[in-house]
Structures are given as C-alpha cells and as structure tokens.
Structure 1
Amino acid sequence: MSQKTFRRIVTGHDADGKAIVVSDAPPVRAQLVGGPGGPTFFEVWHTLETPAQIHAQPSDSDETGLVLPPPKNATRIRVIEFPPEGEEIRQLTGSDAAEKFRAMGDERASTSAAGAPHPLMHRTQTVDYGIVLEGEMTLVLDRAETTIYPGDIVIQNGTNHAWANRSDKLCRMAFVLIDGEFALS
C-alpha cells in the first residue's frame, strides 16, 4: 500500500554565496503512529524561530521523536500518509485516543469525548495549511465535515478537528504548521 517515496531537496549556499543543493534524498525521519493501520508521519523540516534563520549550509535539527506541533514561534512541514480508516479507529475510547496523541508527542491535543463526531478529534494552537497530494480525506469539525481531493487546501485556524480517510485508498497530505496563539475576544 506504500506510495512512491518523495524527495526532500534542501538548498543552501556555497563558500562564494552561490545557491546550491545541500541534500536531495527522501526524508530522513518517518514514523508509523499507532501500529498497523495507523498513519505514517514523514518529518520533512522545521524552523526554530520566526523570522527563520537562513544558514548557508542548513541541516536537520537534533529532534529525534515525533512532535505534533511546531516549536514555539516557529514552523514545521510534514507529509502524512493515512491508510483507509477501519473499525479499530472508529471504536477508539477517549483513553485510546489520548494514547495515540501521546505517540505523536502531544497528548494534550486530544479532545476525544463521548458524543464527539470522531474519536480522534484534536486541537492545536497553530495555523495549519493541509494540502491533499493523493487520494481523498474527510475533514471532520465539531459542526461540519467536508471531503477534500488532490489539490484542495485546508487552512486550519486552531479548530477542533479530525481527519478520516473513508475511501479505500491511501491518502497523502502535506501539512505546514505555524505556531500561533488564540486571540482574546
């Protein structure tokens, strides 16, 4: 069921200040979350601050585990491959869901509760751009849901949500996560 691996091309500058390719390879960190039937996260890149520091020879950070949100005042880009959702996801309890988010480095993101529209509802204090690359995905919100297709882009503004792959094919999405804070009313 695995899709063609994608490349991560990182650019930089040589000693003369000319633009070069620093690396061209598949992402170096991939993690299956929740065991068989769970999504695979490909950690592509993240910045540590805004404005981002632009280095002549950028390199990966020393981050080793999966961390759901970006660093404070920073950004993260990842690709996630979601297999078709099975009954094991739909039957998750609140504590099961919290464990899934613990595996993603942010147990506090889980908002799973009795009567929720999906057991993997969650919320982060971020603005996220989600882009469907392949397949289709249903975005589940508290009071709405919509199916998105290749080329569609979701701008997620700190909303409570879940992703449900209700198709029979893998869905690959790219996400750009930007640290944020909720505005006071």
Structure 2
Amino acid sequence: MTIKLRRVVTGHDDQGRARVLIDEQVQNTFSHRAGAEFSVVWSTEGFPVDNDGNEDPANKKIGTAIENGSVFRIVSFAPGVAPRNHRTSSIDYGVVMQGEIDMILDDGVTVTLRAGDVLVQRGTIHDWVNNGTETCVIAFALIAAKPVTANGKPLLPQG
C-alpha cells in the first residue's frame, strides 16, 4: 500500500474490561486491477453488528460489499489507474486522505475530490480516474443497502 496504515482494534477480556486486541501495521494488501490496491481494515455480517468474540475478519475474501454487512477498507489509486465502472448495493462513505481523484458518473458528470473531501455514494454507477501525478488514498465504509430502483425496476450491482 502506498501509505503505511496502523490498525488498532479493541475488544473485551473475560471480565468485560476493554483491551486492545490488534495493534499492527496493515499487511493485507490486495489488487484486482492495475493501479489500485486495497486493504480491508474490518468487515461485519448482519445487523445489528455483533461485537462479541475476537475473530479478525480482515483477511476474509469478500467482494466490494457484503450483503447484510459492512466493509471498512482503504484504497489507493495510482495515476492512470485502470478503469472500472461499477455499482454496489451499499451506501458508501468515503474520505479522501491523500491526493485527488475524479469520480465519473454514468452520465459523464465528473467531480474532482481532494484530500479532506467526503463522499456519500448511494448505489450509482461510477468510476475512479486518477488524472493527477500522485497516488490518491481513500477510506471507504460500505454498508449494505437495498438495490436502488428506477421506475420500479431494481438497479443491480455490476462491474
């Protein structure tokens, strides 16, 4: 990953006292397309979330989103990242941590996001294009949502 990430995860001991379960440099970096890398910090299944137990889901193989769950991941987009138009059945909260990136919607509208900008992505088809000269890093929290509908028809995940 382009930036070093420290992951600290808390939990409880047998007496119910708070404790640090994990304190480490993130190592689980994956890539499914040229110029993009991601690390899953945490994921959950089911609502409400079950905070019992000490199992670490960070290395579990998952898609972009989890049906009836959540994913927190950090993604880096290098300049010239390969295109990937896609839609998820999730509501995605994004925070640009470093650099800048263009979000291109399926109608051609382009919005440039820079470090410190936040985004709420609500099931739209979009692509991330890094036209800059430095890597862009974004933190995403993806939470399961019903598919968006248009004229009574569901707009299913794609890409």
Q: Report the counterpart of residue 83 of structure 1 in structure 2.
A: 78
List gaps (5 residues or longer) in structure 1. 90-118
Larger RCO: Structure 1 or Structure 2 (Cα < 8 Å, ≥ 6 residues apart)?
2
Normalising by structure 2, we get a TM-score of: 0.85
Q: Are residues 176 and 167 of structure 1, via their aligned partners in 2, closer, same or farther at CA, if it must alter by over 3 Å? A: same
What is the CA distance between 1:120 and its match in structure 2? 1.9
| CA deviation vs aligned residue, 1:124-164 (integer Å, no higher than 9, x gap) | 11100111000101111123111011111110000010011
Higher strand share: 2
Amino acid in structure 1 at the alignment position of 2:7: R
List gaps (5 residues or longer) in structure 2. 153-159
* Distance (Å, rounded) in 1 between the aligned partners of 2:102 and 2:148: 27
* Distance (Å, rounded) in 2 between the aligned partners of 1:64 and 1:11: 19
Amino acid in structure 1 at the alignment position of 2:74: V
Which of 90, 104, 116 is the matching residue for 1:140? 104
Amino acid in structure 1 at the alignment position of 2:94: G
What is the CA distance between 1:63 and its match in structure 2? 5.5
* Distance (Å, rounded) in 2 between the aligned partners of 1:62 and 1:142: 31
Q: How does 1:56-71 map to 2 (within 5 A)?
A: 57-61=53-57, 64-70=60-66
Q: Are residues 26 and 131 of structure 1, via their aligned partners in 2, closer, same or farther at CA, if it must alter by over 3 Å? A: same
Tell me, yes or no, if structure 1 residue 74 matches structure 2 residue 56: no
* Distance (Å, rounded) in 1 between the aligned partners of 2:57 and 2:131: 35
What is the CA distance between 1:28 and its match in structure 2? 4.2
Normalising by structure 1, we get a TM-score of: 0.73
Say if 1:31 and 1:66, in contact at 8 Å, map to a contact too.
no
Q: CA RMSD in A?
A: 1.9
Paired positions, count: 149
Higher helix share: 1
Say if 1:127 and 1:180, in contact at 8 Å, map to a contact too.
yes
Identity across matched positions, percent = 32
Q: Are residues 150 and 165 of structure 1, via their aligned partners in 2, closer, same or farther at CA, if it must alter by over 3 Å? A: same
Q: How does 1:51-130 map to 2 (within 5 A)?
A: 51-55=48-52, 57-61=53-57, 64-70=60-66, 72-85=67-80, 89=82, 119-130=83-94
Moved over 4 A (4+): none
What is the CA distance between 1:64 and its match in structure 2? 3.9
Tell me, yes or no, if structure 1 residue 16 matches structure 2 residue 15: yes
